[in-house]
Structure formats: C-alpha cells, structure tokens
DNA sequence: ATATTACGTCAGCCTTGTTGACACTCCAAG
DNA sequence: CTTGGAGTGTCAACAAGGCTGACGTAATAT
C-alpha cells in the first residue's frame, strides 16, 4: 500500500486516485499554499512589530466578540502563558479590550476596539483578496471540494470549533 | 466589497458565492486543517527531538534526491543559516548524506541514507494516512477542487517549484 | 588575476511555543 | 462559612526555528 504503485484491483471503491504519489502532491500543495495564505498578512504585521500569533488572536476575537480567554485558548491550541503575552501587548496597544464578566466575574470577555477592528479589516482584506482570486480562478465546484477536503482533514475537536464558528458567524 | 454583503448585481460572473463570510470561513478552514495536517508527523518528531523543519528538509531531499543546498533553500524559503542548523544535525545523525558535486565541486548534493529513508517513510505514511482518509471522505471531485484551489493560492514562484516537483516526481 | 558563487559557521537577536510555580478573584458545594 | 476548584494574570526559564551580519574557504567564471 505504501509502495508507490497504483492500486491494481478493479473493485477499489473510488480508490483509483489515491496513489502515494498523488497523496504526496497533496502534502506539497498544502505546504506551498499555506505559505501563500499567510504571506500577505505577514507583510502587514511585520511593519507593526506583530506576528502571526497576534493575527490569530485578532481574527478570532473579531469572529466571536466577547469570547473568554479560556475559549480562545481552546480555539488557538496554545498555553495561556503564550496567549497572554500576545493579549497583553494587544491590550496595551489599545487594539483589544478586556471586560470583566457580568455573570461570572472571573471571566474576561474580549473585544476589539475601533483600532483593533481597523487592523483586523486590513489583515483580512489582504487575505480575502488572495482567497477570492484563488476561488475565482478555480471555480465554484472546486471551492466546494476545497472546503470539503479541508474539513475532513481537521481533528475532531477542531472540526467542532470550526462548525461552531460557522453557526454563530455565518 | 468588503462590507460582508453578498454581491447584488446579476451579472457577476461566478461571484455569487464570494461573500466575505464565506471567504472568512475558507481562512478558518485553512487554519484548522493545517493543524491537523501537521499533527501526526509532529507527534513522531517530538520523540526524536526533531521538529517540523527537519521534516520539511527530509521530505524534499527524498523528493528530489541529489538536490543542492541552494535549490533546497529556494524551495523551503528560509535562510541558509536556518537550513544549515537542521541539515547539520541530520547529517550528524546519519539520516542525510552530503556529497561534493562531480561537475561543480562547490555544490553539495543531498541524499537520504537508509535510516533517513526509513524516517521519511514513517513520517509520510502518517501524513498520507490522514490525507487518504480525508480524500476518501470528501470524494474524487472534491479532491480535484481541493488541489485546484490550493495551487491557485500559491505565490507564482512556489507554484513553479510545485510544478517542477510534480514533473520529476510523478 | 580577480570577482563571484556555493557553502559552512559563529554570534546575536526575535517570536512564539513550552513547563512550572504562585497569586488572586470568584463561584459552587459541603 | 469554609473550602475546593475554576478562570485569569504573571514571573522565570528554556527551546525551536526564524532572522541579520560577518567572515572564511573552495571552486568556478570572467
């Protein structure tokens, strides 16, 4: 199975395209595409002395305004120390606001300030432009397949996070 | 255009699906999927005190045996100092061999040793397993679309590297 | 003969991840 | 009311893996 040959039998249900070579090409496509995917925001962030970690925080705070630190931790999959370092600078720079919870006062609810929203817009505009161009080039059916495969590649918990964001956001 | 509304006009050529919200979901799909994509190899590498950088080097040396350092540098998009650190440990550990070029003796041609090939096999098996499962779940047409969009997302140079690897390798 | 290319390496810096430990606030349960 | 635990913030120390700058060496190209 891992010998690089195409499957020989006739009865493989849809398996004809799953040669090792094609799977390898899929890996490489992911690698190169992800580079492109992050390139544009990275350029913007560089000038601001921020990194990809800041972008991720801003993105998901914008996506789920009022989210708690713990929730964000789960989505991002990093330690609270790591997130806190990023969050601290964003708060200090006036891009993110942290409000004590009304219901449970231990929790902090995170929001973007106007400045934060402006940066988010700038970053996501850049990223969306690339995605939009790619979508347009590939066509609608390709986009559906793209999303389908990506979703199938996720870990189950990530898939749940993704689905949850989709419900509330779109 | 960046206001989150769906395009209103009738004549948008294939633009109906390109709402900001759907583009945003595409970004998130990329983010979560890439995490899944790297998760399995990462687990294997952790035990060996290697990281993702080692994986990438091993992958592309296996893919293009005899490649030069400079060529690998271009594919990976890192500095030679960064690559050298990784390469040095791989050579010291007997996973990679560096041979002086016959034609141009300044060049070093990189190959995997048997041990290197074994590790490459282990890593790519893990990654392929996930990709294969995702492909199977999503179906053949989805896979075609997946590849099409990913390729369209790449920077032009990366697209060239990707195409070159595809020619020689598959 | 000289300039350039390909490579290796040292030193130092940054971001972003990690663990471990500790403090504080607050909710919930006994 | 006390106590346990959850949610958060923070300090310290460390590692991986990027980066720049500088220098050296061998071999090719001009």
Quote the CA–CA distance of B49 and B34 in Å, as a whole number.
Answer: 21
B51: Cβ under 7 Å from strand D? yes
For residues A11 and B111, the answer to whether their CB atoms sit within 8 Å is no
Domain of B53: which CATH number? 1.10.10.10
Query: Are A75 and A151 in the same domain?
Result: no
Share of chain B above pLDDT 70, in %: 89
| pLDDT range class, residue B167, cuts 50, 70, 90 | confident
pLDDT recorded at residue A89: 97
- In tens, the pLDDT along A13-27 reads 445 557 899 999 999
pLDDT recorded at residue B132: 95
Quote the CA–CA distance of B65 and B53 in Å, as a whole number.
Answer: 18
Query: Are A41 and A97 in the same domain?
Result: yes
B32 within a domain of the structure (yes/no): yes
pLDDT recorded at residue A167: 83
A97 within a domain of the structure (yes/no): yes
Average pLDDT of every residue of chain B: 91
| Cβ contact, residue pair A24, B149, below 8 Å | no
For residues B30 and A34, the answer to whether their CB atoms sit within 8 Å is yes
Residue B121 with chain A: CB contacts under 8 Å: 2
B71 within a domain of the structure (yes/no): yes
A51: Cβ under 7 Å from strand C? yes
Distance from residue B111's CA to nucleotide C28's C1', rounded to whole Å: 62
For residues B138 and A135, the answer to whether their CB atoms sit within 8 Å is no
Quote the CA–CA distance of A149 and B38 in Å, as a whole number.
Answer: 15
B52 within a domain of the structure (yes/no): yes
A12 within a domain of the structure (yes/no): no
A46: Cβ under 7 Å from strand C? no
- In tens, the pLDDT along A38-82 reads 999 999 999 999 999 999 999 999 999 999 999 999 999 999 999
| pLDDT range class, residue B168, cuts 50, 70, 90 | confident
Query: Are A83 and A116 in the same domain?
Result: yes
Q: ipTM of this predicted complex?
A: 0.91
Residue B151 with chain A: CB contacts under 8 Å: 29, 33
- In tens, the pLDDT along B94-143 reads 999 999 999 999 999 999 999 999 999 999 999 999 999 999 999 999 99
Query: Are A166 and A95 in the same domain?
Result: no
What is the mean predicted confidence (pLDDT) over B27-51? Answer: 96
What is the mean predicted confidence (pLDDT) over B162-166? Answer: 94
| pLDDT range class, residue B17, cuts 50, 70, 90 | low
Query: Are A70 and A110 in the same domain?
Result: yes
CA angle B78, B32, A152 (to 5 degrees): 115
Query: Are A60 and A100 in the same domain?
Result: yes
Closest residue to B132, CB basis, from A18, A32, A132:
A18
Cα→Cα distances B145→A135, A137, B104, Å: 10, 11, 42
What is the mean predicted confidence (pLDDT) over B36-62? Answer: 97
A6 within a domain of the structure (yes/no): no
| pLDDT range class, residue B11, cuts 50, 70, 90 | very low
A131 within a domain of the structure (yes/no): no
Distance from residue B104's CA to nucleotide D27's C1', rounded to whole Å: 8
**How many CB atoms sit inside 10 A of residue A162's CB?**
19
What is the mean predicted confidence (pLDDT) over A120-148? Answer: 95
Quote the CA–CA distance of A56 and A52 in Å, as a whole number.
Answer: 6
Which domain covers residue B128, as residue numbers? 24-138
Residue A153 has pLDDT above 80, yes or no: yes
pLDDT recorded at residue A170: 57
B108 within a domain of the structure (yes/no): yes
Query: Are A121 and A57 in the same domain?
Result: yes
For residues A96 and A110, the answer to whether their CB atoms sit within 8 Å is yes
* Count: domains in chain B: 1
Residue B6 has pLDDT above 90, yes or no: no
B87: Cβ under 7 Å from strand C? yes
């Amino acid at each position: 199975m891992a010998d690089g040959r195409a499957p020989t039998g006739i009865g493989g249900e849809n398996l004809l395209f799953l040669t090792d070579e094609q799977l390898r090409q899929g890996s490489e496509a992911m690698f190169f595409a992800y580079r492109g995917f992050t390139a544009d925001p990275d350029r913007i962030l560089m000038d601001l002395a921020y990194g990809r970690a800041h972008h991720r925080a801003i993105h998901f705070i914008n996506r789920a305004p009022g989210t708690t630190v713990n929730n964000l931790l789960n989505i991002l999959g990093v330690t609270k120390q790591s997130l806190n370092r990023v969050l601290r600078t964003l708060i200090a720079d006036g891009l993110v606001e942290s409000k004590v919870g009304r219901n449970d006062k231990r929790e902090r609810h995170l929001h973007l300030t106007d400045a934060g929203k402006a940066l988010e817009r700038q970053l996501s505009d850049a990223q969306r432009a690339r995605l939009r161009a790619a979508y347009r080039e590939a066509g609608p059916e390709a986009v559906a397949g793209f999303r389908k495969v990506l979703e199938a590649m996720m870990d189950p918990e990530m898939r749940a996070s993704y689905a949850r964001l989709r419900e509330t956001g779109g």
